[in-house]
């Protein structure tokens, strides 16, 4: 099957395969599903296929549709340097802004009619004016343009944007393809099983957690950090960023997400251990939501440290929102 760099996700891959083979390409796709399941990777494969002159799109004669992987176009996509592909991601500490969408519109006005691909990830990080400008473009898409909108939280998108897109839903991976992805990245099998447990089958999240573990100096040290957090909660961001990383909103969001996956991955196997880990992971997810809705990153880290060290985190449940400065 084409898109074989993406493991699992047969339904999504097959859907793209059939559409491209028939040459029936929608002007916009919404790849929706939890963070870290492989949506971005599939989107990039689809972009490469759309741009590769040897992909066999629309030719029922060719047995397979897919990028050749070998031509100038495929190499250019791989090195993020293709004149027909624009990738929009949030800048450091901010969303995807109007300036980026204007730049994209300018890009689309060049070489009109030729195939050009716009990949936006994650689409829910579009700032409000940027989202409106994108919607306008989706309403009257320039010929040849294909939009690939990667989105972890489609409920946060304008429904008018969602309705302009063909939706491709991607869920967590089954255990087997998940373990295959991690084995391909030289993650020890036993740890990979833990990471499957911790992330519920999201290989991207598992690899981030693996990096965090490595950054801490191994599994034992990582477990020690989450069992007894550092005195200054701001030191917690060291698990998600290289030395010198600032505890800004994005770093804190990443850190809290890693902590939630981490406590769940390394939970005790007895019912009490599972209950405690579930309680901690749920509260950490709640803290992450507060940060997303512009809660204070510093308070979030303080709360995370409280959650990790509390013997009875359930007791914190009603105190946390206030300590985060959210009414």
Residue closer to Zn ion (CB basis): 56 or 201: 56
Is residue 21 packed enough to be buried (19+ CB in 10 Å), middle (13-18) or exposed (0-12)? buried
Q: Which of 74, 260, 287, 324 binds Zn ion (CB under 5 A)?
A: 74
Residue closer to Zn ion (CB basis): 74 or 308: 74
Residue closer to Zn ion (CB basis): 69 or 141: 69
Residue closer to Zn ion (CB basis): 52 or 182: 52
d(CA 26, CA 320): 45
Closest approach of Zn ion to the CB of residue 73, in Å:
5
List strand residue ranges (DSSP E) for the chain, in order. 28-32, 85-88, 116-120, 145-151, 166-169
Half-sphere exposure of residue 266, counting CA atoms within 13 Å on the CB side?
Answer: 20
Binding string, 2-41, against Zn ion, x = CB under 5 A? Answer: ----------------------------------------
CA distances to 187, 229, 259, 287 from 238, in Å: 21, 11, 12, 18
Residue closer to Zn ion (CB basis): 47 or 306: 47
The interface with Zn ion within residues 142-181 (CB under 5 A) comprises none
Q: Which of 2, 7, 31, 52 binds Zn ion (CB under 5 A)?
A: 52
Residue closer to Zn ion (CB basis): 69 or 321: 69
Q: Which of 19, 26, 68, 158 binds Zn ion (CB under 5 A)?
A: 68
Question: Is the preceding omega at residue 208 within 30 degrees of 0, hence cis?
Answer: no
Residue labelled with tokens 């429904």: 159
CA triple 33-38-39, angle to 5 deg? 55
Closest approach of Zn ion to the CB of residue 296, in Å:
48
- What is the bridge-based pairing of β-strands 116-120 and 145-151? parallel
d(CA 249, CA 322): 19
Q: Does 76 bind Zn ion (CB under 5 A)?
A: no
Q: Does 71 bind Zn ion (CB under 5 A)?
A: yes
DSSP annotation of 124 reads G
Closest approach of Zn ion to the CB of residue 210, in Å:
31
Closest approach of Zn ion to the CB of residue 77, in Å:
8
Q: Which stretch binds Zn ion (CB under 5 A): 69-77, 83-91, 131-139, 271-279?
A: 69-77
Q: Across the strands, what pairs with 150?
A: 31
Q: Which stretch binds Zn ion (CB under 5 A): 65-73, 143-151, 204-212, 318-326?
A: 65-73
Q: Does 265 bind Zn ion (CB under 5 A)?
A: no
Query: Which tokens sit at 263?
Result: 């406590």
Per rule CB under 5 A, count of chain residues that contact Zn ion? 5
Q: How many residues does the chain have?
A: 327
d(CA 227, CA 307): 10
CA triple 267-272-277, angle to 5 deg? 35
d(CA 252, CA 299): 10
Q: Which stretch binds Zn ion (CB under 5 A): 16-24, 45-53, 97-105, 221-229?
A: 45-53
Residue closer to Zn ion (CB basis): 82 or 290: 82
Q: Which stretch binds Zn ion (CB under 5 A): 23-31, 72-80, 161-169, 246-254?
A: 72-80
Interface positions with Zn ion (CB under 5 A): 52, 67-68, 71, 74
């Amino acid at each position: 099957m084409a898109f074989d760099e993406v493991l699992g996700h047969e339904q999504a891959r097959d859907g793209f395969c059939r559409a491209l083979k028939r040459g029936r390409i929608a002007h916009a796709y919404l790849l929706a599903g939890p963070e870290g399941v492989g949506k971005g990777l599939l989107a990039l494969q689809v972009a490469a296929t759309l741009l590769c002159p040897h992909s066999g799109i629309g030719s029922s004669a060719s047995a397979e549709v897919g990028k050749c992987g070998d031509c100038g176009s495929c190499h250019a996509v791989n090195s993020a340097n293709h004149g027909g592909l624009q990738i929009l991601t949030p800048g450091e500490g901010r969303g995807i802004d109007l300036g980026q969408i204007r730049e994209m519109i300018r890009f689309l006005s060049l070489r009109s009619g030729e195939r050009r691909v716009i990949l936006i990830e994650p689409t829910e990080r579009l700032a409000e004016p940027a989202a409106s400008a994108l919607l306008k473009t989706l309403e009257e898409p320039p010929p040849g343009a294909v939009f690939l909108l990667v989105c972890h939280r489609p409920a946060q998108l304008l429904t008018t944007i969602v309705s302009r897109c063909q939706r491709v839903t991607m869920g967590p991976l089954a255990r087997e393809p998940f373990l295959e992805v991690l084995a391909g990245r030289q993650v020890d099998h036993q740890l990979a099983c833990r990471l499957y447990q911790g992330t519920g089958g999201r290989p991207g999240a598992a690899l981030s957690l693996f990096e965090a573990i490595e950054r801490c100096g191994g599994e034992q040290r990582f477990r020690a950090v989450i069992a007894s957090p550092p005195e200054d909660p701001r030191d917690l961001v060291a698990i998600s960023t290289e030395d010198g990383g600032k505890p800004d909103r994005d770093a804190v969001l990443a850190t809290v997400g890693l902590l939630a996956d981490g406590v769940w991955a390394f939970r005790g196997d007895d019912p009490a251990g599972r209950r405690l880990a579930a309680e901690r992971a749920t509260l950490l997810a709640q803290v992450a939501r507060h940060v997303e809705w512009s809660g204070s990153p510093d308070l979030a880290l303080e709360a995370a440290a409280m959650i990790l060290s509390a013997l009875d985190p359930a007791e914190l449940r009603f105190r946390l929102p206030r300590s985060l400065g959210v009414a």
